[in-house]
Amino acid sequence: MLAIVCPGQGSQSPGFLSPWLERPGVHEQLASLSEAAGIDLLAHGTTSDAETIKDTAVAQPLIVAAGLITAQALLGDDATAALVPGKILVAGHSVGEITAAALTGTLSNADAMAFVRERANRMADAAAATPTGMAAVVGGDPDEVIAAIESAGLTAANMNSKGQTVAAGTLEQIAALVAAPPAKARVIPLQVAGAFHTHHMAPAVSALQALAPSLTTHTPKVALLSNYDGGAVPSGEAALASLIAQVSRPVRWDLCMETMSAMGVTGLIELAPAGTLTGLAKRGIPGITTVAVKTPDDLQAARELLAAHLSPEAGTL
């Protein structure tokens, strides 16, 4: 079984889309996605600085667009059609779950961009109401880490693995955790502009619920894992409901990896802007082979891993 995974906010870096523009059709694809998102993704993916692309309203559509461009480069013009049930599963971390929904055909690309546009703008509004942020807690005893996060008044917003939990809350609360980290742990503030996946984002949930009736959903082509409990969503309607609720509830990427392991995943391809989820997989899924598709130079290795898992000898679950 092969997992194709889509990263979340904070994985972007200035100019990361520049190498992809050398591929035929990418400029046009990015222009189409920009129109759907209502922002200039071409500029933000190539020339905008780090502070600009940290803005939630920019970062989220940019990350989803990057994943869709990478998927098409890897799988062909109809990326969804190339997915094989029983041999491939798809998952996304936080905003990457929208990319995953589009890749599996659960949402059209246009609806995915409309959803992420509303999500990003409303989450940016919610973040502006109170200065908030997030910080990764790396290392330490898991129970002690959770206790320290709660003691600081923060929420464990992302449970990424046994060795990495992301805390979210006000900037003062994060500063307190940085000043008094759990034993044998490091606290690393993240380049995000709000306390995502906490009660601070409740207004964005209401806005997305109002948007939902205008979107069309379909049953995922292959298993699509939910950040809520790591399980595969049973329908398009359930996937959309999970995407909406995800905005203000914790992301359980640790449970997604547990599901991957239980389903026999032996290979993992991370779409651009890649690197974070492959790193977690190497530590969380023993013996897994990973490819982080950061630039077009990584496509050959990804295609080889894909072909190995689609061969008749690979079997079907």
- Judged by DSSP in three states, 191 sits in coil
* Sign of the torsion formed by the C-alpha atoms of 227, 228, 234 and 235: negative
β-bridge pairing 132-139 and 164-170: antiparallel
- Residue tagged active-site, from 34, 48, 94, 242: 94
DSSP symbol at 247: T
Residue 249, both tokens: 């509830």
197 in catalytic set: yes
Looking at this protein, which amino acid is placed at residue 187? V
Please state, in angstroms and as integers, the Cα–Cα distance from residue 94 to each residue in 30, 177, 286, following that order. Answer: 22, 23, 23
Residues 6+ apart with CB under 8 A from 76: 82
Which residue, 207, 212, 251, 209, is CA-closest to 229? 251
How far apart are the C-alpha atoms of 306 and 83, rounded to whole Å? 10
The Cα diameter of the chain in Å comes to: 55
Return the number of other C-beta atoms located less than 10 Å from residue 313's C-beta: 6
Active site residue 199: no
Asked if 165 and 150 touch (Cβ cutoff 8 Å), the reply is no
- Catalytic residue selected from 11, 34, 161, 197: 197
Q: Is residue 236 packed enough to be buried (19+ CB in 10 Å), middle (13-18) or exposed (0-12)?
A: buried
Catalytically active residues are: 94, 197
